Amino acid sequence: MFWTVTQSLLKGFGTTVEIFGLTLLLALPLGLLLSFGSMSRFRVLKWLVKTFIWIIRGTPLMLQLIIIYYGPGLVGTWAQGLEQSNFLVDWLASWSVFDRFVAVIVAFVINYSCYFSEIYRGGIESISRGQYEAGQVLGMTRTQVFFKVVLLQVVKRIVPPMSNEIITLVKDTSLARIIAVYEIIWAGQSFIKSAGLLWPLFYTGVFYLAFNGLLTVLFGRIEKKLNYFRG
Amino acid sequence: MAILEVNNICKRFQDNEVLKGISFSLEEGQVLSIIGSSGSGKTTLLRCITGLETADSGSICVGGRMTFDSERREKLSKAEKRENQLCTGLVFQSFNLFPQYTVLRNVTLAKELLVKETCRAEKCDKKEKKARLAAIEDEAKRVIESVGLSDKLASYPCELSGGQQQRVAIARALMLSPKVLCFDEPTSALDPEITGEVLAVIRKLAEEGRTMLIVTHEMGFAREVSNEVIFMHDGVIGEQGSPEELFDRPQSTRLKEFLSAALHA
Ligand SMILES: Nc1ncnc2c1ncn2[C@@H]1O[C@H](COP(=O)(O)OP(=O)(O)OP(=O)(O)O)[C@@H](O)[C@H]1O
Ligand SMILES: [Mg+2]
């Protein structure tokens, strides 16, 4: 039995890791873009991005997940019932529900991009103006200053908050269960109904712990590697 | 012709008029010190000259090149802006070394980026590029030796004392051979015991004939190292002349007060 359960949980865990990996892959760069937007000199852009971040950070991920999964379908049905017909209405009418997994990825990427962008912003803004100015008087371009001077210092500063956020992401993947994506919690839970067993659900904790333990070690290494300088 | 000509520079921050028409010139190989009380606009002036701040009006000419002209209407290209930038160098009060790089890399970085760009533009081959980069490293080692830090090439800024960090900052600025090297209170952030080692480096540069513009609170040093001194007060040049004229025969009461305050500080 133990082996069957483990196999089943591993399958669910595969999905968990997929959600985790894809979200990270997309949200890390997207967050950087958002952070540039939130620091932009163009007021309108800055205001728009900041409002967006405020909304996403101010509402539960679970709610966002539900809205993104069911929202488009509702809009589509509503538009189909409209009397008039024009380009916009037709387009809206073509909306339908996302694939479950796609909905999860979209919601997670949006949510985590916003959290990451705030971490990036904090890191970038914490670098003293003197670093930029030193680069400038040495004739470096803005891009060179960012990539050659500022970036590594930002990375060093954001590793601790980032590792926190990323470990939270591992645990947040369990929210995918709310729109019936077969991840590890769902896998564990299914044994209650099918075999009357509760322990597989407890057993899922081991997987989370192992994965987060691995991440903790990894981030510890990165932190240590960047310890050679202060700043 | 003077190597640095500053004409009628004005600068205000909101309704705070910080520079109210500053004009002076500096000959090649000369050292000019700027003294003056806190808030008189010394730093702002240096920042305008080095392009960190844009003056509201006036013009600045370095080595015959108009690096700033408020009358100019056409936009400068990136290359021109950089060319202007490289005319002057600046040593900050707070060093501003790049913490993640070694002493050697701090000194070579900017020049390396420049050379890599020219190599790309000239499409030179790998061997040529390598030779040029090696030349930069040799040059950097010589410059670092000249500030007395040959044994610290591989150290990181956090492993150095303030005085050593400031000497690296000087080497870093020298590496790009600016026509005019500016210093903004280079020893103000240092403990009194170690200001000497930084001043000694600047003194040596003066003897070698570097053109320098030095904002300082070290009156003794200003007197000894400069060919000319400017006393700034409230955004204008209060007095200007040889060190003897300013320090021994101050004319205005403002300068007299400033000097006696500095003496008793
Ligand atoms: N970026 C800025 N924004 C607004 N005001 C500024 C700015 N930089 C300088 N000032 C103001 O300009 C005035 C002159 O400042 P500045 O730093 O040039 O003086 P300073 O002569 O270098 O003084 P100190 O000897 O203390 O360094 C001050 O009143 C200061 O508040
Ligand atoms: Mg100052």
Locate the ligand 1 atom nearest the alpha carbon of residue B53 and give its number.
Answer: 1
CB atoms A141 and B78 under 8 Å: yes
Strand B31-36 to B212-215 pairing: parallel
- Residue B98's closest chain A neighbor by CA? A149
Strands laid side by side in the B65-69 sheet: B16-26, B4-13, B57-62, B65-69
Q: What are the phi and psi torsion angles at B89 (to 5°)?
A: -125, 160
**Cα–Cα distance measured from residue A61 to residue A111, given in angstroms and rounded to the nearest whole number:** 7
CB atoms B113 and A144 under 8 Å: yes
Q: Which of B50-54, B122-126, B155-159 has the lowest mean pLDDT?
A: B122-126
Q: Which one of B9, B11, B13 would you pick to mutate in the ligand 1 pocket, going by the greatest count of ligand atoms within 8 A of its CB?
A: B13
Locate the ligand 1 atom nearest the alpha carbon of residue B217 and give its number.
Answer: 25
Locate the ligand 1 atom nearest the alpha carbon of residue B47 and give its number.
Answer: 18
- Which of B50, B51, B94 shows the shortest C-beta gap to A130? B94
- The residue to which tokens 């320090």 are assigned: B247
Model ipTM?
A: 0.93
Chain-wide mean pLDDT for chain B? Answer: 92
* Structural domain containing residue A202: 2-228
B30, exposed or middle or buried, with CB in 10 Å at 0-12, 13-18, 19+? buried
Q: Which one of B9, B19, B43, B92 would you pick to mutate in the ligand 1 pocket, going by the greatest count of ligand atoms within 8 A of its CB?
A: B43
Residue B235 near ligand 1, beta carbon < 6 Å = no
Residue B38 near ligand 1, beta carbon < 6 Å = yes
Q: What are the phi and psi torsion angles at B87 (to 5°)?
A: -65, -30
Task: Name the closest ligand to CA B19.
Answer: 1
CB contact at 8 A, A139 and B82: yes
**Nearest in space to A71 (alpha carbons), one of A43, A99, A102, A96:** A96
**Nearest in space to B22 (alpha carbons), one of B252, B182, B237, B230:** B237
* Structural domain containing residue B40: 4-264
- pLDDT tens digits for range B76-120: 888 899 999 999 999 999 999 999 999 999 999 999 999 998 888
Structure confidence at residue B10 (pLDDT): 94
CB contact at 8 A, B188 and B95: no
**Nearest in space to A111 (alpha carbons), one of A64, A72, A71:** A64
* Mean pLDDT of the B190-213 span: 92
The alpha-carbon gap from A59 to the nearest alpha carbon of chain B, in Å, equals 38
Burial B158-184 (b: 16+ CB within 10 A, else e): eebebbbbbbbbbbbbbbbebbbbbbb
Q: Which one of B12, B17, B42 would you pick to mutate in the ligand 1 pocket, going by the greatest count of ligand atoms within 8 A of its CB?
A: B42
- Which of A139, A149, A152 shows the shortest C-beta gap to B176? A139
Structure confidence at residue B213 (pLDDT): 96
- pLDDT tens digits for range B24-47: 999 999 999 999 999 999 999 999
- pLDDT tens digits for range B130-153: 999 999 999 999 999 999 999 999
Report the residue of B100, B165, B184, B213 to disrupt the A interface, i.e. the one with the largest count of A CBs within 10 Å: B100
B252: CATH: 3.40.50.300
Residue B41 near ligand 1, beta carbon < 6 Å = yes
pTM for this predicted structure? 0.88
**Cα–Cα distance measured from residue B89 to residue B97, given in angstroms and rounded to the nearest whole number:** 14
Pick out chain A residues at pLDDT < 50: none
Structure confidence at residue B6 (pLDDT): 95
Domain count for chain B, please give it: 1
Strand B57-62 to B65-69 pairing: antiparallel
**Cα–Cα distance measured from residue B95 to residue B173, given in angstroms and rounded to the nearest whole number:** 11
Burial A173-193 (b: 16+ CB within 10 A, else e): bbbbbebebbbbbbbbbbbee
Structure confidence at residue B55 (pLDDT): 94
* Mean pLDDT of the B13-28 span: 93
Structure confidence at residue B243 (pLDDT): 93
Q: CB B119: neighbour CB atoms within 10 A?
A: 17
A194: CATH: 1.10.3720.10
Structure confidence at residue A93 (pLDDT): 79
Domain count for chain A, please give it: 1
Residue B54 near ligand 1, beta carbon < 6 Å = no
Amino acid identity, residue A65?
L
Strand partners, B24: B6
Structure confidence at residue A86 (pLDDT): 81
